[in-house]
Chain A
Amino acid sequence: MSEHVNRTTPRRRVAIGLRHVALVALCLVMVFPLVLTVSTAFKDSKDVTTNPFGLFSSFSTENLETAWTVGHFGDYLLNSFLLTVPSTALVVVLSTMGGYVFARLPFPGRTMVFYLVILGLLVPFFAYMIPLYYQLRSMQLLDSLVGINLVLASTGLSFGTFFMRAFFSDLPQELEQAARMDGASEWKIFTRIMLPLVSSGIGALTVFTFLQNWNNFLVPLLYMPGGEYQPLTTGLYLFLGGRSVDIGPLAAGALITILPVVVLFVALQRQVTQGFLSGAVKG
């Protein structure tokens, strides 16, 4: 993109150098709370009290063990997966099919149905979260893996459908016409020809939805009053209330909560950014 940097005058080089210095400093500020979390998590309990501000003087996994067993973070981690994987899969599958239909398979009343599905983009979860509690209660879906997964999925479907529809709308007509000539059924055209072409979109939607559902706090807080299947987010909140004095294990708990997100983000940076960008542009 910016070939103009090629003519590097000394003055320009200084400017670029200064820019890097500023950026590194900023990045340190942004990352500092994470460094703090990691360093506190690996201190032993004595170190936490005597040396709260430095890096750990002795590496210890004591806090992690406490968080894992006493703080139930092992369970929370598992629950986070149990609540995130199915709900994400549901969003991706239903939105992909929905996006395809709304882009390419017309039926009477389609436009109206589309607007009903998209209503979720306009109405925040906030608007109906309270009635939903009583509805789930009467459906016996409170404290239930099925119930929370369905709710988490429903919060992502409007965006997902909108997002995938944009991808499917972009594919050229000629492809499906040719396939139809060759005798492919409508379902085959969808699965064999269209799906592979939007795989990048599906990837971005998957990562984006996974993060949203993993990070969700309000849904489990509201709909898991009995505390079964608590994920990391609400688990960490409970742990905070339980031992506000004991920073070491709390830091370890925060680390366990953050780590999967950081790993996912660093590994799939491109898809995550793409998801958020499109989320902003479309959602």
Chain B
Amino acid sequence: MTTTTAVPTPPARPRDPARRGSRPAASHAPPATRRAQARLGMLMVAPLVAVVAVFLLFPLANAVYYVFVDFNGIDVTPPWVGTANFTELAQDSDVWGAFKNNVIWIVLGTVAPLVIGLGYALLVWTVKRGSVLYRTALFLPYVLPQVAVGVVWSWIYDPTRGWLNRVLDAVGLGSLTRGWLGDPDTALYAVLGTAVWATSGFVFIIVLSALRNVDIELVEASMLDGANPAQRLRYVILPQIMPVFLMVTTITLIGGFSVFDIVFVMTGGGPAGATETLGTYAYSSAFQLNRISYGTTLALIITVMAIPFAVGLNRLQRRLSLEGTGA
């Protein structure tokens, strides 16, 4: 295995004029062929459409309906309440607390993995020996189930038996020890730390593959011109990987809106709401308090907030794959 393994096949198609839009063979095919294609096409796509319609489109339409009624999970014809769910959400201080936590999560949970992942990638970039090993070790945490990650980190943070406090004691910082997940001041950051540990590898692997397209000659030339490492990064490397960097930023950012697994497993939103996010709050409203419509409204609001970023991401990705620089 060489170091170039990470380049996927599909985006490597800068010069294929026919790929945009939906006009492949058919235009100059004879009518009989076109009819055969259409028949087979509809047949082949039917099961896909059926599954998507039943398990995505239908519940999504239902979600929009739930928002305007007050559904408790039992009532077959729930009463119409108009925008009452929205007004209540706007006045719910727990929602605002959760929102604040999400914002912290989105900012720190995006910036930290970006910086760390970029650092890893720059370190591994020109390494020849052991590159596969480094890639595996640094990317692995991202592939693991978040539940397991949460469980293991919970006992690293354990107040009495946890490694973190133990290490702090050993290096003479014993005054800093605490129950990391049980202390409202630190719980959010402790969970966030775990998430950063897990997601940095994702940024790393993407940036690393983008670095493969960076012009080494240019970097060397700037070195001869006396640019220091910071200048090289700022003026030579970063501009070249900027589209990919923006893309990975957006992906991490969007993930921050619907963060769930790791918070749910490590703290369940506690202590005293200190780690409550919009996702865990939507879950508990709907499935623990049976406030189905309320939870759905919250979940839809999360979606609506994330969509502009998703659209931006989509544009970015289209541009990337058109330029052929993608991944």
Contact = CB atoms under 8 A, between A and B. Distances in A.
Contact of A254 (B152, B206, B321): B152
Interface stretch (B91-99, B105-113, B136-144, B231-239): B136-144
B45 A98 contact: yes
A114 B49 CA distance: 9
Nearest to A109: B42
28 contacts: A2-B216, A5-B126, A36-B152, A94-B47, A106-B41, A119-B52, A123-B56, A123-B307, A126-B260, A126-B279, A126-B299, A126-B303, A127-B302, A128-B63, A161-B48, A170-B19, A173-B18, A190-B44, A200-B9, A236-B151, A261-B143, A269-B135, A272-B143, A276-B142, A277-B6, A277-B205, A281-B247, A281-B327
Interface stretch (B22-30, B79-87, B171-179): B22-30
A250 B151 contact: yes
Contacts of A22: 123
B90 interface: no
Contacts of A173: 18, 24-25
Given A20-B129, A33-B152, A128-B299, 15 more contacts: A2-B216, A90-B51, A126-B299, A130-B296, A131-B296, A157-B51, A167-B9, A170-B9, A185-B36, A187-B40, A234-B147, A240-B154, A253-B151, A262-B140, A277-B327
Interface string B184-209: 00000000000001000110011001
A192 to B, nearest CB: 14
Contacts of B58: 135
Given A52-B161, A124-B258, A201-B9, A270 B1 contact: yes
Interface of A: 1-2, 4-5, 16, 19-20, 22-23, 26-27, 30-31, 33-34, 36-37, 52-53, 90, 94-95, 97-98, 100-108, 110-111, 113-114, 116-117, 119-124, 126-135, 150-151, 153-154, 157-158, 161, 163, 166-167, 169-170, 173, 176-177, 180, 185-187, 190, 200-201, 204, 211, 214-215, 217-218, 222, 232-234, 236-237, 240, 247, 250-251, 253-254, 257-258, 261-262, 265-266, 269-270, 272-274, 276-278, 280-282
A116 B52 contact: yes
Contacts of A30: 137-138, 140-141, 197, 201
Contact of B51 (A153, A233, A237): A153
A106 B51 contact: no
A97 B63 contact: no
A277 B73 CA distance: 40
Contacts of B209: 277
A152 to B, nearest CB: 10
Which 8 A-B residue pairings sit nearest by Cβ, starting from the closest? A105-B41, A154-B55, A131-B62, A107-B38, A166-B10, A27-B137, A128-B59, A215-B145
Interface residues of B, number: 125
A97 B279 contact: no
A102 B19 CA distance: 11
Contact of A163 (B10, B136, B166, B265): B10
Contacts of B4: 1
Contacts of A97: 44-45, 47-48
Contact of B136 (A19, A131, A251, A265): A265
Contact of A113 (B49, B120, B123, B247): B49
B55 A132 contact: yes
B310 interface: yes
A243 B111 CA distance: 36
Interface in B54-69: 54-60, 62-63, 65-66
B145 A266 contact: no
Q: Which of B25, B128, B139, B146 has the most CB of A within 10 A?
A: B25
Nearest to B321: A281
A90 B268 CA distance: 33
A64 to B, nearest CB: 15
B104 interface: no
A278 B320 CA distance: 12
Contacts of A280: 202, 206, 247-248, 251, 327
A269 B142 CA distance: 13
A217 B147 contact: yes
Given A98-B48, A123-B60, A222 B40 contact: no
Given A105-B41, A215-B146, A273 B5 contact: yes
A187 B299 CA distance: 42
Contact of B33 (A127, A180, A282): A180
Interface string B296-315: 10011011001100110010
Nearest to B119: A26
Contacts of A120: 52, 56
B149 A33 contact: yes
A83 to B, nearest CB: 13
Contacts of A123: 56, 60, 303, 307
Contacts of A103: 24
B48 A95 contact: yes
